[in-house]
Amino acid sequence: MKHIFLNLKRFDVPRELGGVNGIAPIASWGSYIIEHTQEHLKAYDKDQVEFVMYFPEAHLIPALSALCPHSPVKVGCQGVYREDTSTGGNFGAFTTNRTANSVKALGCTAVIIGHCEERRDKAGVLAEAGVTDTAAVNRLLNKEIGAAVKAGLSVLYCIGETAEEQPRWQEVLEEQLTTGLKGVDRTRVTIAYEPVWAIGPGKVPPDEAYITKIGTFVKEVTGGMDVVYGGGLKTDNARMLASVPVMDGGLIALTRFAGEIGYYPDEYLEIIGTYMGK
């Protein structure tokens, strides 16, 4: 099974407010994306590839409402809280926090956890509190994964090393995997490798040999879990990534990297077609 994930980040913000959205009005942004992709994605065998899109929270309801019967698209959210409601327990006093049960109730079936932007945020909060234990972020993410799995969501768990961590990448990734996945049902989890050291303008992305090395390592540590390339699946690298046997798909973060950057449905479909060889 191949996995094509799409993280829509904050591409809903209009350009006049400093964002990059120019494809649809805010009220219809989520539904526009579903409506302009799902029919095309029916061309692919659902037993061979899955398509999951992670939306900012405000757009979950319109995105879910736009799903047609038997849609090939799965809709997910961008993170969940580490605690949740329970029958006879906490009824929902989680102000400002998005729980797994709440998004499950909306109709979501998936969540992305541990994205490098989330890791950076958590590390910053912990540092402000004087916490120096580098494994603390992984322990928090482990609780989030546990909550998501308990609610019935599938999880895309992101791992990756920074430039400072790259000399000891094996130690860093193994800690993220072993702590992050401790005690959870791994059949509900897919791993995404983000080369954090290579993300950003002017950075050189990892080559096929490096990606193969990482994918092999992740499968060895996890006992063969599916792993996708999370450094940005795009048209330029889709054929190469599709040829790497240990990689099971990719995470699309942008569809246009120059000019009017951001997400565009036609270019999303082009990336998928290139990766799938159609």
Rounded to an integer, what distance in angstroms lies between the CA atom of residue 109 and that of residue 155?
Answer: 9
Place of tokens 């449905």: 265
Q: Report the interhelical angle of 136-150 vs 116-128 (nearest 10°).
A: 130
Specify whether 194 is catalytic: yes
The answer to whether 171 and 131 have CB atoms below 8 angstroms apart is no
Write out the two tokens for 83: 């605690």
Where b means 16+ CB within 10 Å and e means fewer, 41-73 reads beebeeeebbbbbbbbeebbebbbebbeeebbb
Q: Which residues pair with 204 in a beta bridge?
A: none
- Cβ neighbours of residue 91 under 8 Å, at least 6 residues apart? 85
Query: Is pLDDT above 80 for 249?
Result: yes
CA dist., res. 16 & res. 99, Å (int): 32
- Is residue 53 classed as helix, strand or coil in its secondary structure? strand
52 forms beta bridges with 5, 74
Out of 23-32, 44-53, 81-90, 104-113, pick the least confident.
Answer: 81-90
Mean pLDDT of 111-116: 98
Q: Report whether pLDDT(257) > 90.
A: no
Pick the catalytic residue from 115, 118, 144, 161: 115
Query: Rounded mean pLDDT of the chain?
Result: 96
Residue 203: pLDDT band (50, 70, 90) is confident
Q: How far is CA 33 from CA 53, 112, 138, in A?
A: 10, 18, 32
Asked whether the predicted pLDDT for residue 184 surpasses 80, the reply is yes
CA separation for the pair 272, 99 (Å, rounded): 31
| pLDDT-derived band at 201, boundaries 50, 70, 90 | confident
Domain count for the chain: 1
**Predicted local confidence at residue 68, as pLDDT:** 97
Q: What is the CA radius of gyration of the chain?
A: 18
Give the CATH number of the domain where residue 240 resides: 3.20.20.70
pLDDT band, very low/low/confident/very high, at 258 (cuts 50, 70, 90): confident
Q: Which tens digit of pLDDT belongs to each residue from 22-48?
A: 999 999 999 999 999 999 999 999 999
pLDDT for residue 200 is more than 80? no
Q: What is the pLDDT of residues 122-163, one digit of tens each?
A: 999 999 999 989 899 999 999 999 999 999 999 999 999 999
Is 117 a catalytic site residue?
no
Instruction: Judge contact between 270 and 252, C-beta under 8 A.
Output: no
**Residues spanned by the domain of 101:** 2-276
Residue 92's pLDDT band (cuts 50, 70, 90) = confident
